[in-house]
Amino acid sequence: MRTFLKLVVCAVMAVQSATARSGSFPKYNRLNMNDTAILLIDHQVGLQALVKDFDTVSFQNNVLALASIAKELKLPVVITASVPEGPNGPLMPEILKMFPDVAVVSRHGEVNAWDDPKFRAAVKKTGRNQLIMAGIVTDVCIVFPALSAIEEGYQVFAAVDASGTFNEVVRYAAWDRMSQSGVQLMNWFSILCELTRDWRIHGQVMTDIILKHLPEYKNTMITFNQKQSTEHSD
């Protein structure tokens, strides 16, 4: 009996390791700027009060960095707001100013943006199959449309630092739920670098966005440039 059990255990382990070897892990599915659209969901001023997993200044900076990536790389953008005439309030004015030509999809009840046919139509119209989503709150406004879009065959990437929620428990539950369903979790800087891929081709865009939104690296750049210019003037 004991031998039999051992055999069963060995067989199970063999199957498990064969599955791991045969690539049960997803392949590297990288962002391609020709396939990507950015979806900004419910970045409304009233909802920002619910974001407690980032401080307000960093959060706004992250959201605007992601928006700048869309703008500088000329990616299609879909913007939506949940009942903007109610307590959630209007969208962040900086976002509206950056995309004067994008018609905001105002929802008048649908919690999951994907439930709004106008939103789905706007996404479809981009013609893109890689969707980067960000918004408030992560566990509702991102998780729900992310799972819906996955179900319809889109590749979904959640911009986790441009999405915020109540606390870390809620955030990790939301991230776990998404990643279990195949949503890739990324931050704006990795999104920028994976989309652009090569400093020689997109160095200017990368530098512009970094100078505006990543002060830590901006300082490194300034020091380096100063050193370069002193060396050259010697």
**Catalytic residue selected from 65, 141, 174, 209:** 141
Question: From CA 62, how far away is CA 54, in angstroms rounded?
Answer: 10
Q: Which is nearer to ligand NAG, 35 or 115 (CB)?
A: 35
**Min CB(194)–ligand NAG separation in Å:** 10
Which helix (H) or strand (E) element contains residue 4?
helix 2-21
- Scan residues 5-44 and list those touching ligand NAG (CB under 6 A): 32-34
Q: Where are the beta strands (DSSP E) in the chain?
A: 36-41, 77-82, 105-107, 130-135, 155-159, 184-186
Which residue's Cβ has the minimum distance to ligand NAG?
34
Helices assigned H by DSSP within 106-180: 117-126, 143-151, 168-180
End-to-end CA distance of the chain: 84
How does DSSP classify residue 132? E
CB of 183 to ligand NAG, least distance (A): 21
Decide if 193 is catalytic: no
CB of 76 to ligand NAG, least distance (A): 14
- Minimum CB separation from ligand NAG for residue 62, in Å? 24
Cβ distance to ligand NAG smaller for residue 34 or 229: 34
Provide CB contacts within 8 A for 142, sequence distance 6+: 41, 133, 134, 135, 158, 163, 174, 178
57: tokens are 């200044």
Q: Which is nearer to ligand NAG, 36 or 165 (CB)?
A: 36
Q: Is residue 230 a contact residue for ligand NAG (CB under 6 A)?
A: no
- Catalytic residue numbers read 141
State the residues that interact with ligand NAG by CB under 6 A. 32-34
